[in-house]
Structure 1
Amino acid sequence: MSHALIADLGGTNARFALVPIHQYEPLEIRVLPCENYDNFFAAAADYIENCSIGMDRIDAIVLAIAGPVNQPVIQFSNNPWKFTRDEVQSYFGDNKPVALLNDFDAVGHCLEILQPEDMLVVGDSSAVDPKGACWVVGAGTGLGISCVVPQDNGPNMVLPGEGGHVDLSACNDVEDDILKFLRTRHKRVSAERVLSGMGLENLYEALALREGIEKRLTAPEIGEALKLGNDPIAAAALEQFFVFLGRVIGDLVLSVESRGGVYIAGGIVPRYIKEILKSRFREAMQDKGRMKEFVSPIPTFVVMSEYPGLMGCACYASHLVSKA
């Protein structure tokens, strides 16, 4: 049986797996901390040396990368690794089809095979147009965004971009203060500055300062404080995180009428399902003035699958081999 080597290469971890061609459940998953390896090829060699099959049984390679992939030298947004497409092709062999996807392009391909039980509805509406455009949004080490257009034949069309780096806007005094605080540090404030692990830390620090407290917690420390329930600033930071997420998603829906729905992935939101369901996320998403009725029917889902990026790579590998 032929296999694809698939990998989801993020800012913090590189997730490797194998999958039989035309199957979509990743096997032999290993999560390798990027900081433990000088480059991608060292991590790939470690994985291949310790998996159950040799290179002779790997017929395709699909990599999901946390950064733009249409550049001469591929560099990660939050990771010092870099390489060229030719280097990847040469490493695995010129006779093997290789695909390099943006990490959220991979999640976009995951929508082709995602099952209803893999998703949780946030809001009142769950009706989607299966031929309608979709957005995939996910906060983790950074903020990933992709626009997905379903196709009648072949893989989903995923439109490239770096939407996580759009300008962030404010809609009230609290948000004004947050942006003023972040501008003193970064000059320009992108959505990723609040919608990421680093962003949650920024929100905590900014909200603490509004209370006259100079304090910054790491994202894991904020998570622990939320579990204990003894830190109102941590709770306020998470609530503001969901509000900003709603605002950004509402802006995306205004840009592309995504009747296929909005799918929230990434490492942060699935950890806080109870909190997002109680939050003002949908209220903020729909807070678009005269365009509220345009945005309100668009359904939003949290992707609960543990490895949607790998599933998307597996799906794309089947298209890749069929085309080869």
Structure 2
Amino acid sequence: MSHALIADLGGTNARFALVPIHQYEPLEIRVLPCKNYANFFDAAADYIEHCSVDMENIDAVVLAIAGPVNQAVIRFSNNPWHFTRAEVQSYFGDDKPVALLNDFDAVGYSLEVLPKSDMVVLGEHATVDPKAPCWVVGAGTGLGISCVVPQDNGPNMVLPGEGGHVDLSACNDLEDDILKFLRTRHKRVSAERVLSGMGLENIYEAMAQREGIERRLTAPEIGEALKQGNDPIASAALEQFFVFLGRVIGDLVLSVESRGGVYIAGGIVPRYLNEILKSGFRDAMQDKGRMKEFVSPIPTFVVMSEYPGLMGCACYASYLVSKA
């Protein structure tokens, strides 16, 4: 049986797996901390050495990368690794089809194969137009965004971009204070500065300072404080995180009428599913003044699958082999 080698290469971890061609459930998954390897090739060699399939039985390689892939030298947004397409092709062999995808482009391809049971509806609306564009958004080490346009024949068209780095706007005094705090540190405040693990830390620190407290917790420490239930700033910071997420997603929907829905992946939101269900996320998304009725019907879903990026790579690998 022929297989594809697939990998979802993030800012913190590199997730490698195998998958039989035309199947989509990743096998032999290993999550390798990026900091343990000098470069991608060292991590790939470690995985290949310990997997059950020899490289000669690998018919395709698909890598999802946390950063822009249409560059001469591909660099990661939150990771010092870098390489060129030619280096990757040479490493795996000139006879193998190799594809490099943005990590959230890969999540976009996964929408073709993700089971409905892996999606949780946020809000009152759940009806999608399967032929209409949709957005994929995910907060983790960074903020990934991709726009997906379904096609009648062939894979979804995924429009590349770095939407996580758009300017962040504020809509009330609290948000003004958070942005003022962050501008003293970063001058320009992008959406990723609040919608990521680092972003949750930034929100916490800004809200603490607003209360006259000098304190910054790491994202795991904020998570622990939320479990303990003894830190009101942690609860308020997570609520504001969801509000900012709603505002950004509402802006995306205004940019592209995404009747296909909005799919929220990444490492943070699925971890706090109960909290986002009770939060002001949807109110903030729909808070678009005269355009509220335009935005309100758009359904939003949390993707609960643990490895949507790998599933998207598996889906793309099937098209890659069929085309070869």
Same fold (TM over 0.5): yes
In the alignment, structure 2 segments of 5+ residues that lack a partner are none
Output the CA distance in 1 between the equivalents of 2:130 and 2:114: 13
Report the secondary structure of 2:144's partner residue. strand
- The aligned counterpart of 2:119 is 119
What is the distance in 2 between the residues matched to 1:273 and 1:2?
A: 37
| Residue 207 of structure 2: aligned partner | 207
- 1:70-91 alpha-carbon deviations (Å, 9 max, x no partner): 0000000000000000000000
Query: Who is 2:180 aligned against?
Result: 180
Is 1:130 aligned to 2:134, yes or no? no
- Aligned position for 2:74: 74
1:306 alignment partner in structure 2: 306
TM-score (norm 1): 1.00
| CA RMSD of superposed structures (Å) | 0.3
Provide the rounded CA distance (Å) in 2 between the counterparts of 1:204 and 1:13: 24
State the one-letter code of the partner of 2:189.
V
What is the deviation of 1:115? 1.2
- Residue 157 (1) aligns with residue 191 (2): no
- Partner of 1:128, secondary structure, is coil
Matches within 5 A, 1:1-324: 1-324=1-324
CA–CA separation in structure 2 for the residues paired with 1:132 and 1:226: 38
Amino acid at match of 2:293: E
**Offset of residue 53 of structure 1:** 1.1
Q: Distance in 1 between matches of 2:151 and 2:114?
A: 16
Deviations 1:213-253 (A, max 9, x none): 00000000000000010000000000000000000000000
Identity of aligned residues (%): 88
Q: Secondary structure at the match of 1:214?
A: coil
**Distance in 1 of aligned mates of 2:24 and 2:293:** 37
1:213 alignment partner AA? I
Residue 255 (structure 1) shift:
0.1
Q: Give 5+ residue unaligned stretches, structure 1.
A: none
| SS at structure 1 position matched to 2:29 | strand
Q: 2 CA distance for matches of 1:237 and 1:207?
A: 7
Q: Which amino acid aligns with 2:308?
A: P
One-letter amino acid of the structure 2 residue matched with residue 239 of structure 1: E
TM-score, normalized by length of structure 2?
Answer: 1.00
CA distance in 2, matches of 1:149, 1:223: 35
Per-residue deviation, 1:58: 0.4
Distance in structure 1 (CA, Å) of the matches to 2:213 and 2:156: 48
Secondary structure of 2:100's counterpart equals: strand
In 1, distance between residues paired with 2:73 and 2:248? 29
Aligned counterparts of 1:35 and 1:272: Cα–Cα separation in 2: 26
**For residues 25-53 of structure 1, what are the alpha-carbon distances to aligned partners after superposition, in whole Å with 9 as ceiling and x for unaligned?**
00000000000000000000000000001
The amino acid across from 2:132 in the alignment is G
